[in-house]
Amino acid sequence: LLFSWGAPGKTGPGEFHVPHGVWVHTDGRVFVADRENHRIQVFTPDGEFLTQWTDFSRPCDIYIDGDETVFVPELDAFMSVLSIDGRLLARWSGPTEAGAHAIWVDSHGDLYINQNLEGQRLLKYRRLG
């Protein structure tokens, strides 16, 4: 173990309640899907709190593509798409409206979403445009 940070909690910066997904950006920032606190927290590589994004419904994972588009699957909603500064670009429901759990984006920009609450399936969305 080289380093760790955070503590159990529900309101403060660096407090987590089921930290569920982590993404390290190419610039070193660490994005954490803090599922039961309904937010994404952003830190420096040394664990210093930078910001948080709210308005999620149990975010489970995070993926940032080469265009710096941020994809956040949500357990009680489905999918939010944001800019790298946290501005909401799009949000949509899935075939059963809930249960998005994990995401990956392939080299063509297509999205693969693991839906585990309802349906127990893998969904593929083709990126248009």
Q: What does the DSSP assignment read for 107-123? A: TTS-EEEEE-SSS-EEE
Task: Quote the number of domains for the chain.
Answer: 1
Q: Is residue 59 part of a domain?
A: yes
In this prediction, the residues of the chain whose per-residue pLDDT falls under 50 are: none
CA distance 78 to 116: 11
pTM value?
Answer: 0.90
CATH code: domain of residue 65: 2.120.10.30
Q: Is residue 72 part of a domain?
A: yes
What pLDDT shows up at residue 96? 67
Asked if residue 89 lies in contact with residue 79, where contact means CB atoms within 8 angstroms, the answer is no
What pLDDT shows up at residue 22? 96
CB count in 10 Å sphere of residue 5: 14
Q: Is residue 9 part of a domain?
A: no
Q: Is residue 80 part of a domain?
A: yes
What pLDDT shows up at residue 26? 96
Q: Is residue 98 part of a domain?
A: yes
Q: Is residue 3 part of a domain?
A: no
Q: What is the pLDDT of the chain when averaged over all its residues?
A: 91
Domain range for 64:
18-125
Q: Is residue 29 part of a domain?
A: yes
